[in-house]
Structure 1
Amino acid sequence: MPADLVQTYRAFAHNNAWANHRLLAACAGLSEVDFAAERTGFFPSLQQTLNHIYVIDLFYVDALEGGWLGPRAWADEVPCPSVAELRPAQRAVDRRLIAVCDALTPDLLGSMVRINRDTTVQTERRDRLLMHLFQHQVHHRGQAHAMLAGTAVKPPQLDEFFAAGEAPLRAAEFAELGWSEAAIWGG
């Protein structure tokens, strides 16, 4: 695997954390009732959708770290009923995913990961598992974004992370997250 591909996965991990940060910051403007209110989507509320993202992150990040958490990750489908609880929990698992990607090497990226599925063990290439996890995030964040559009809170822009011209607009958020453009992109 080329070294620049490793950097791409690192950038995707940062993009993931940034998008979660933006979306949850917007959701913080909702009342707890609005956050839990029934809406149209794969999961019936912002609360359930965003908690689903979180528990699946726990499941896969644990496996990527070599853990054996497995389906216990979603034993409680809504472990964080409020945005105030979910924001730091999601941020912590996002940091773990960034650490996983920061530790990647070309050889490690092509290595196998064992995933505890309770009654079976799934073996998956690390690069494919990461692609699946990032796609899962985008898929459900899009649903949450659409749900948020049905509230009084304006949904945040989530697709400008990779645009170099947007760097000045991201600077304050990156500082809040403890990042810099140079740290993410290298150089």
Structure 2
Amino acid sequence: MPNPDDVLSLARYNAWQNREMTAALEALPDAALRVDRGAFFGSILATINHLLWADMVWMSRFAHWPAPGGGLEASTELAPTLAAWGAERFRADARLVLWAEGLRTVDLRGMLRWYSGATGRDQVKPLGQCVLHMFNHQAHHRGQVHGMVTAAGGVGWTSDLAFMPDEGRWP
């Protein structure tokens, strides 16, 4: 299971990747963000909305953030524009890093219990595994977005954890 330093590194990586992705998305015309590109959630905007929505849902379980409204079906409609999404994403990433900075080993132990709308039943999983899942889910959907950006003629971004700028902030 992860330790607090691992989670902090992943939170910082997530914030860096979202900044890089946002810059790539801002270079595309709005129409390119809304075209159904055959990904699981269709468009780039729908996919990044789902990603932010899912992060907020997981953080509502981990750190008692307010859960976003609507279920999985509404997850693609969280923010109507890239600018609105970007502001929410920036705030969420800052809060996520602050949460990770305050973690202790004991905070990542034990079981997480929640009702899953996706499965329609109660779930019980190791908390540390759920935290790792959140970060894996982020990387998965950012990878989809990267593919959609390049398919739309945009420029992708470096996504390798090993190349994250150090900024003097590795744990």
- RMSD, aligned α-carbons: 2.4
What TM-score comes out, normalization by structure 1 length? 0.78
**Which deviates the most, 58-67 or 14-23?**
58-67
Unaligned runs of 5+ in 1: 171-179
Aligned to 2:85: 86
Aligned to 2:29: 31
Return the offset for 1:19.
0.5
**Which deviates the most, 62-71 or 135-144?**
62-71
Contact (CA 8 Å) 1:52, 1:77: kept in 2 or not?
yes
**Structure 1 residues 82-131: Cα deviation after superposition (integer angstroms, max 9, x where no partner):** 21111111111112221221121111111333434367543332211111
What TM-score comes out, normalization by structure 2 length? 0.85
Contact (CA 8 Å) 2:50, 2:75: kept in 1 or not?
no
Unaligned runs of 5+ in 2: none
**Which deviates the most, 115-124 or 28-37?**
115-124
Q: Which amino acid aligns with 1:155?
A: G
SS of the residue 1:24 aligns to: helix
Contact (CA 8 Å) 2:34, 2:44: kept in 1 or not?
yes
Contact (CA 8 Å) 2:24, 2:155: kept in 1 or not?
yes
**Which deviates the most, 53-62 or 32-41?**
32-41
Aligned to 1:132: 133
Return the offset for 1:152.
2.8
Aligned to 2:38: 40
Aligned to 1:181: 167
Return the offset for 1:47.
0.8
Return the offset for 1:73.
5.9
Q: Which amino acid aligns with 1:153?
A: G
Judged with a 3 Å threshold, the aligned counterparts in structure 2 of structure 1 residues 123 and 71 are, in CA distance, closer, same or farther, namely farther
Instruction: Tell me the number of residue pairs that the alignment of Structure 1 and Structure 2 aligns.
Output: 168
Contact (CA 8 Å) 1:70, 1:116: kept in 2 or not?
no
Supply the distance in 2 between the matched residues of 1:151 and 1:37 (Cα, whole angstroms): 9
Q: Which amino acid aligns with 1:97?
A: L
